[in-house]
Homo-oligomer: A and B are copies of this chain.
Amino acid sequence: MDKDTKQRIIEAAQILFWEKGYHATGVAEIQKRAEVHSGSFYHFFKSKEELLEAVLEFYLQLLYPVVMAPSFEKYDDPIERIFGVLAGYRTQLIETNFTLGCPIGKLASEVEKEQVRARQLINANFEGWKKHIADCFEEANIRIGVAHNSMNLANLTLTVMEGSLLQVLAEQSIAPFDNAMIPFREYIEMLYKP
């Protein structure tokens, strides 16, 4: 059975915003991809911005099952889980020939201060991401019997991920990601295997 119309629009917008960005994607293009006409579109969303908010809410739903779960199910070790999540972004970049990085990061750089709700949702996505990663660091603390600030480490992890993805997309090469991972991993291992 077909997904309902509203969800088809959200998913069409999601992929287009991810590929090209919010401003560069036209409503007409979203309608075409979703196979929906203008009347239906504006029946569900009163504006493009409202659709953006729906997309960001959808990302919030996808965060655990799509971003975290594959790595969390593959690995038991909490540190491996973290690097597994990062490896997921790496794979995505390679498989899409350096087209798809982090969709939240992309939108974060385009959303303006006035778009209050969209900003809140971007922050909720970042916070959720960091929370899942911080939980891993926390578990590593417990297992290994040390005490590092797990939320700060999660913050650094997101920082390294976003910063290297920006360069990967600019350079169209995986090198900045791999080159950042080496010292980042070295640092984390130093903390947990002193």
Contact = CB atoms under 8 A, between A and B. Distances in A.
A158 B159 CA distance: 11
Which of A113, A156, A171, A187 has the most B CB atoms < 10 Å from its CB? Answer: A156
Interface stretch (A2-10, A19-27, A40-48, A79-87): A19-27
A170 to B, nearest CB: 5
A123 interface: yes
Contacts of A161: 163
A194 B184 CA distance: 17
Contacts of A1: none
B112 A24 contact: yes
A162 interface: yes
A164 interface: yes
A183 interface: yes
B126 A152 contact: no
A161 B180 CA distance: 12
Contacts of A110: 21, 23-24, 109-110
Interface of A: 20-21, 23-24, 99, 105-106, 108-113, 119, 122-123, 126, 152-153, 155-156, 158-164, 166-167, 169-172, 176, 179-180, 182-184, 186-187, 190
